[in-house]
Structure 1
Amino acid sequence: MTATRKTCRIQVHGPLQKHAEGFEAELLRLGFAPASIVNQFCLLAHLSSWLEAEGLRLGDLTVLQVDAFLVERKATRTALFTRKALCPLLGWLAESGVITAEAAGPPRAAEDPAVLVRFERYLLTERRIGVRTTSAYVVRVRRFLETHCPSEGFAKLSGADVTRALLDEGVGRAPASVKKFGYALRAFLRFCFISGELNRDLTGATMVIREPLPSLLPLGASAEQIGTLLQGCDRSTAVGRREYAVILLLIRLGLRAGEVAGMQLEDIRWRHGEVLIRGKGAKHECLPLPAEVGAAVVDYLMHARPADADLREVFCTVRAPRRALSSPGVWGIVTRACTRAHLEKFGPHQLRHSLAEAMVAAEVPLAAIGQVLRHDDPATTSNYARVDVVRLRQLARPWPAGGELS
């Protein structure tokens, strides 16, 4: 029995009744499986009946009302009671102009002060910081304002408040977490000073957080481990072809997870044999495209990428709704490959380290390694180019003959 015949048996009453047929067509266009279409149709029917029972009009739907519906659904249903489950329906209704974009989007903290809203806009537009990084900064600064802002108001903020916040953050948290909090706080205080939100520069109150010096031992995967990762990709399947192409990009070009996820179709310049990398800080640079990598990407595009994917990104999800592959999705590909290969789990950054260490072993100059990894600071490159332990052993002098350890 097809999904259409099954959905005909689902009774829809209320404001969404006249939109049911259009939503079903949208689900078919997005490539939803028949069982998923039925589940989404049941969700539409429940929302419609809830709106009718509450006496609400569809055009007046708000974020708070969506949350109220989800609370009611979680209490009465066993599945599809999250905002993520509602995304296909709410997104389609918003695109159709039936509800507002705000109602379809994630809830935003209503108590966010105006200075935090302006800080977010500053990071996105003037600093050109990525959306994910900006969101992380805003979350940390919001926590600072909620817990350490003086009762007299934000204008009375002092250096002592900033220092106390960092000290409190260090209780029970790893140094890396405290450093990220400090970075966000420093960026926020610098913004407040240059924009006139504060009449004094408090960035000096953000203490330098020291982490234990990292070991100089190699961090990347070995050549044998990399070979095992690639062999574990079943290239007879669509998922395997996608994973093989993604892992090759990480290994051969040393890309970051976000750079693989953000790669677009027009970024691959086949005639010139190069690919445009959309790197950190909105920097775009071209790298040569090795033939092996290009062949893997072509194989994915020709035989594995969904034909109905209306996206400019190269890599997308296998299951509907079709979405661009996210940075966490790239991490998932690598960690799943580690599990198949019976290796201790590591992420895409370890593959970036592997490329740097391989170039060190090939005696590539540090400056050239920095160009491949697209680093501005040579000190950053040195963190990737770890010491070659095998060569160090060759330099070790033998223990004097006849001596004994006491």
Structure 2
Amino acid sequence: MWGIKIEDLDFSRDQIRLWTHKRKGGKKEADWLPMTEELKIALEEWLKVRPVNAEYLSVCLEPLPCLVDRYGKPFATRQKFMKKLCTKAGVKPFGLHAIRHLTASTLYAKGYSLAHIQAVLRHKNPKTTERYLRKLGLEQVRDALNEGLKRPPKTKVVRLRKETDGTKRLEKAKIIPFKKRESANG
């Protein structure tokens, strides 16, 4: 998002090019991704107010107190930027990468497959995507275990059989809850 240039936007094909350096050998690599209608509208609106001479898409338009040193320049120091914004908003600071984890968790919770989430996050290896979902998976396993370990009321199955043609058959099963025995002491 921070290094996106105007040339990385293709409104005619509704695509945006995202770059990464996180490949073997630090090689810079790009992927063209589909642009949602909502993103397209937001970018078109942004381009109307963004300085025309700016090379990068993301530039600071106002000399905000938390960004006074970045006015008219591309945002370069992402972590400092997020920390300043979180402090200003009064929320616990988090990094931009947490948004990727949130995206993965949200897609997983909505039932999307690992392959779909991998494509959205642009991971070459599905194991990388699995690491994003590991914590979520453990929480779901824990919830399932806790739910499964909840014991239903103790029951006793009484089988009622009816003899037919000399054989015994199960007619029906009736579940009768156990009653606690009263102890001899009380």
Give TM-score, length-normalised by structure 2: 0.63
Once the two structures are superposed, the pairs formed by residues 316-355 of structure 1 within 5 Å of their partners are 316-318=59-61, 322-326=72-76, 328=77, 330-355=78-103
CA drift at 1:391: 6.9
Once the two structures are superposed, the pairs formed by residues 174-323 of structure 1 within 5 Å of their partners are 260-280=1-21, 281-303=27-49, 305-307=50-52, 310-318=53-61, 322-323=72-73
2:136 matched to which residue of 1? 387
CA drift at 1:376: 1.7
Q: Deviations over 1:237-290 (max 9, x none)?
A: xxxxxxxxxxxxxxxxxxxxxxx1210101111111110111223111011111
Structure 1 residues 381, 271: CA separation in 2 closer, same or farther (over 3 Å shift)?
same
Secondary structure of the structure 1 residue equivalent to 2:32 = strand
Q: Give the structure with the higher percent strand.
A: 2
Question: Letter of the aligned partner of 2:149 in structure 1?
Answer: P
Q: Deviations over 1:101-149 (max 9, x none)?
A: xxxxxxxxxxxxxxxxxxxxxxxxxxxxxxxxxxxxxxxxxxxxxxxxx
Tell me, in whole angstroms, the C-alpha distance in 2 between the residues paired with 1:321 and 1:333: 13
Tell me, in whole angstroms, the C-alpha distance in 2 between the residues paired with 1:336 and 1:321: 15
8 Å contact kept, 2:19–2:31: yes
Structure 1 residues 323, 337: CA separation in 2 closer, same or farther (over 3 Å shift)?
closer
Tell me, in whole angstroms, the C-alpha distance in 1 between the residues paired with 2:84 and 2:74: 19
Tell me, in whole angstroms, the C-alpha distance in 2 between the residues paired with 1:398 and 1:272: 52
CA drift at 1:392: 4.3
**Greater RCO (CA < 8 Å, at least 6 residues apart):** 1
1:30 matched to which residue of 2? none
Structure 1 residues 300, 346: CA separation in 2 closer, same or farther (over 3 Å shift)?
same
Q: Deviations over 1:56-89 (max 9, x none)?
A: xxxxxxxxxxxxxxxxxxxxxxxxxxxxxxxxxx
Give TM-score, length-normalised by structure 1: 0.31
Unmatched runs of 5 consecutive residues or more in structure 2: 22-26, 64-69, 155-186
Unmatched runs of 5 consecutive residues or more in structure 1: 1-259
Structure 1 residues 361, 279: CA separation in 2 closer, same or farther (over 3 Å shift)?
same
Structure 1 residues 332, 291: CA separation in 2 closer, same or farther (over 3 Å shift)?
farther
Q: Deviations over 1:279-310 (max 9, x none)?
A: 2231110111112222222222212x234xx3
Aligned length: 138
8 Å contact kept, 2:114–2:130: yes
Query: Higher Cα Rg: structure 1 or 2?
Result: 2
Q: Deviations over 1:127-174 (max 9, x none)?
A: xxxxxxxxxxxxxxxxxxxxxxxxxxxxxxxxxxxxxxxxxxxxxxxx
1:374 matched to which residue of 2? 122
